[in-house]
Structure 1
Amino acid sequence: MTGHIKGTTTVGIVCKDGVVLAADKRGSYGNMIMTKNATKVFQVEDHLAVAGAGSVGDILGLVRVLRAEVSLYRARVGKPMSVKAFATLTANILQGSKYYPYFAWFLIGGYDERPGLYSVDPIGGITEDRYVSAGSGMEFAYAILEENYRSNMTVKTGVKLAVRAINAALKRDVYTGDGITLVVVDKNGYREMSKEDIAAILKAL
């Protein structure tokens, strides 16, 4: 599928023991639902992940570039790229492409010596955050995040909060829908939560 994803709600949360990234699965073009199983959260390396809100073609294109650059860095330097360096790399690529921009907003999450989370706008503006949301349902997600985020929360609690935030957008934003993708990046690496685990959290809300 190509074109622009008008909708999307993405969420990132820093916990004391890891980072949580989440997104809905609906891909829309104008008022038409193009897919109900869009992938918006991607593994870049064992300890690095990115979530994108915007044009699916631009998101996939940048993810391919980032994966190649991270692999080259490891080969040249002999160690993995830090989360901060990865966010800076993403920002530099977007800044260098601003005359032909990537139409997407990216959340960068990962774990090296500690968990890290960055928000990178389409022309390379970069902000380090403790929690963040992007996309058409972000106002609904932020309402949940701002009221419930705690800096000392565990990943287990952060996962539940991310599901609550995306679920708020699912209920209120017409361009957000069709399920939730949720990943955790911690000292053990990248892992995606199962549909059954997410369903259990939703049932308990």
Structure 2
Amino acid sequence: MAAVFSGAPPQGGPGYSFKQTPTAASASGERQHSFYPYTDNGGSTLGISGADFTILAGDTRSTSGYNINTRYAPKLFKIGGEGPDNKGARIVLSVVGFAADGDALKERLDTIVKMYKYQHGKNMSVAACAQRLSHILYGKRFFPYYVHAILGGLDEEGKGALYSYDPVGSYEREQCRAAGAAASLIMPFLDNQVNYKNQYVPGSGVGHELQAREAVPLPRTTVEQLVRDAFTSAVERHIEVGDGLQMMIITREGIEERYMPLKQD
């Protein structure tokens, strides 16, 4: 995501500068002030869809460079439903990157989904919500939300549906996706264990004759263990990920939320 926003300040540095190195222009008393509106608050999220469920997960650490702002900053949010607690919601949004933009995006999408239900008397489908989120992000393309969003739910056939986004609204439906600081560590693991990349049928041949293992939806218990393994591994290798693991499991019965501690160092 850093490639999308060039000219970002050094990692861990402030987002603004009230005093810069004096230049010839400032010899006359002129001083230039600058402001950079973005920062990266670290953390990682992931999503995996199954035959009849979708699981989204994220750590709860919020950072600014080498500083920990808080050890509990949720990155997963229920969308829609009733009231401030989103009772009865069937869609989950995960956001990672700039926490303030993530909160603003979540509030905007949640309001739109709730208004849809009040106006039409039915819940918005996850596919319609996914497209609406794309429109929101694209509408801010000249001053983007500095987040990597993942949206999850169940489609109209009851199958797990997972959508991943870039900061300006491009999106696609996938079986699994990791985002955030440790995405480069987690995504290869998911590619191998969920998408079966570089896995072959034993005894199917030699070299190019090997038959790739067919990717099929994994059981829920297996996916839950993969999520725990992914974050347990990530916290060992990335300082911006840790403290706690928030997991939301979307099924026909609703959304089940779980929490487990992670390393705090």
TM-score by length of 1: 0.90
Whether the aligned pair in 1 keeps the contact of 2:61 and 2:240 (CA below 8 Å) is yes
Give the SS at the match of 2:54: strand
State the partner residue of 1:66.
109
Q: State how 1:42-121 maps to structure 2 within 5 Å.
A: 42-45=77-80, 46-113=89-156, 114-121=159-166
Whether the aligned pair in 2 keeps the contact of 1:20 and 1:183 (CA below 8 Å) is yes
CA–CA separation in structure 2 for the residues paired with 1:17 and 1:71: 24
1:29 aligned onto 2:64: yes
State the partner residue of 1:133.
178
Shift of 1:33: 1.1
State the partner residue of 2:241.
176
Whether the aligned pair in 2 keeps the contact of 1:5 and 1:27 (CA below 8 Å) is no
Give the SS at the match of 1:193: strand
Shift of 1:3: 6.8
Shift of 1:137: 0.2
Structure 1 residues 13, 50: closer, same or farther in 2, change over 3 A? same
Whether the aligned pair in 2 keeps the contact of 1:28 and 1:35 (CA below 8 Å) is yes
Structure 1 residues 194, 9: closer, same or farther in 2, change over 3 A? closer
Q: What percentage of aligned pairs have identical amino acids? A: 28
Write the deviation string for residues 46-100 of structure 1: whole angstroms up to 9, x where unpaired: 1100111111111111111111100111112221111111111111001001112
Give the SS at the match of 2:46: strand
Structure 2: gaps (5+ residues) = 1-36, 81-88, 195-214
Tell which structure's C-alpha radius of gyration is larger. Answer: 2
1:148 aligned onto 2:193: yes
Structure 1 outlier segments of 4+, above 6 Å: none
Whether the aligned pair in 1 keeps the contact of 2:49 and 2:217 (CA below 8 Å) is no
Paired letter, 1:74: K
Shift of 1:42: 0.6
State the partner residue of 1:185.
250
CA–CA separation in structure 2 for the residues paired with 1:146 and 1:186: 23
CA–CA separation in structure 2 for the residues paired with 1:4 and 1:192: 28
Pairs aligned (count) = 197
CA–CA separation in structure 2 for the residues paired with 1:21 and 1:178: 17
Give the SS at the match of 2:241: coil
CA–CA separation in structure 2 for the residues paired with 1:24 and 1:164: 13
1:15 aligned onto 2:50: yes
Paired letter, 1:38: A
Paired letter, 2:39: H
Whether the aligned pair in 1 keeps the contact of 2:61 and 2:242 (CA below 8 Å) is yes
CA–CA separation in structure 2 for the residues paired with 1:4 and 1:168: 25
Shift of 1:186: 1.0
RMSD: 1.9
CA–CA separation in structure 1 for the residues paired with 2:193 and 2:67: 33
Paired letter, 1:178: D
Whether the aligned pair in 1 keeps the contact of 2:38 and 2:146 (CA below 8 Å) is no
More strand by share: 1
Paired letter, 2:59: D
